[in-house]
């Protein structure tokens, strides 16, 4: 298996409401675009398992996990916060989304896959140790990082987050862990508002409303990528949000598919240089259905070194 596409039908059954932007149509658009573009032939589809309690508890408090399980409704919907809503299918979907990253880490660390992309939902990078936030129930990428550290003996794991919103949940979970470096580009000031630490191990790159490819590439070229190279990760995780796209309705950054392709090539090169090519990406944001699939396809073309 060269490239693994880790997904599960359960992720379609998270239904937070007819007007909620984090809809099942997002995942459907991604899978349809990959099939239409021929990537389904080069990316082998793998079913995502559910994350175990032990895997979730590496980054989440036990009382939070209990609260999420209790909150899962048998009918209707239940709001965990102002933006994060559970339906009867949400607990299984969230467990699969976290389990997908864990399984993807196992695939690349064992050499069974050279790259993996988790086509799942709900997203995860806003979820904190003890609460849901910003459409996110479990911290999917963070759970994958913690699994790599606990189960595969790696000493350095890096996270690259290019979602238009700051990956506050992921950052908070590894604030005191020198084994983890996070490079994070995001629109600022924007959601989530509030202060965040300037610290070793976290590389924030602030984009202003209206910024486009020039600013995005400059930040990554001058700041994010050098920090990642110097860290020499043994595994690279990517929180792949596509809501910085110029057509996306939830933000004001002006990227297109070529920008995602460019950055993914650069991240792939870093993984090749120090991590034996081991790279795992997981879907975060992206809410314009007619551009999301194409942006993800561009990401996968570069991630799997297809068509390079």
Catalytically active residues, by annotation: 126
Number of neighbours of residue 150 by Cβ within 10 angstroms: 12
Number of neighbours of residue 92 by Cβ within 10 angstroms: 17
Task: Kindly state the greatest CA–CA separation across the chain.
Answer: 50
Contacts of 67 (CB under 8 A, 6+ apart): none
Cα–Cα distance between 173 and 127 in angstroms, integer? 9
The burial of 70, by beta-carbon neighbours within 10 Å (0-12 exposed, 13-18 middle, 19 or more buried), is given as exposed
Residues 133, 88: contact at Cβ < 8 Å? no
Which secondary structure element, helix H or strand E, spans residue 187, and what is its range?
strand 180-187
Distances (CA, A) of 18 to 14, 151, 286: 11, 40, 17
Beta strands 115-119 and 3-7, pairing class: parallel
């Amino acid at each position: 298996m060269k490239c693994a596409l880790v997904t599960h039908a359960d992720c379609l059954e998270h239904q937070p409401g007819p007007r909620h932007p984090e809809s099942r149509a997002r995942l459907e658009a991604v899978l349809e675009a990959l099939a239409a573009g021929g990537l389904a032939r080069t990316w082998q589809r793998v079913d995502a398992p559910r994350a175990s309690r032990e895997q979730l508890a590496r980054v989440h408090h036990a009382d939070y996990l209990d609260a999420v399980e209790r909150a899962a409704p048998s009918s209707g919907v239940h709001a965990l916060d102002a933006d994060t809503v559970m339906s009867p299918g949400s607990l299984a979907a969230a467990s699969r989304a976290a389990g997908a990253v864990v399984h993807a880490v196992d695939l690349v660390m064992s050499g069974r896959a050279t790259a993996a992309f988790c086509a799942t939902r709900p997203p995860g990078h806003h979820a904190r140790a003890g609460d849901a936030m910003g459409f996110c129930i479990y911290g999917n990428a963070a759970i994958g990082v913690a699994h790599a550290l606990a189960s595969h003996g790696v000493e350095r794991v890096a996270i690259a987050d290019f979602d238009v919103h700051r990956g506050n949940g992921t950052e908070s979970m590894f604030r005191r862990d020198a084994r983890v470096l996070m490079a994070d580009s995001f629109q600022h000031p924007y959601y989530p508002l509030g202060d965040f630490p300037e610290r070793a191990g976290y590389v924030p790159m602030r984009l202003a409303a209206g910024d486009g490819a020039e600013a995005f590439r400059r930040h990554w070229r001058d700041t994010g990528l050098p920090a990642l190279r110097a860290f020499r990760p043994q595994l690279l995780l990517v929180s792949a949000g596509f809501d910085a796209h110029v057509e996306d309705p939830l933000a004001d950054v002006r990227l297109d598919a070529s920008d995602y392709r460019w950055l993914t090539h650069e991240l792939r090169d870093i993984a090749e240089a120090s991590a034996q090519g081991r790279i795992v990406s997981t879907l975060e944001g992206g809410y314009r259905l007619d551009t999301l699939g194409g942006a993800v396809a561009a990401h996968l073309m570069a991630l799997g070194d297809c068509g390079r």
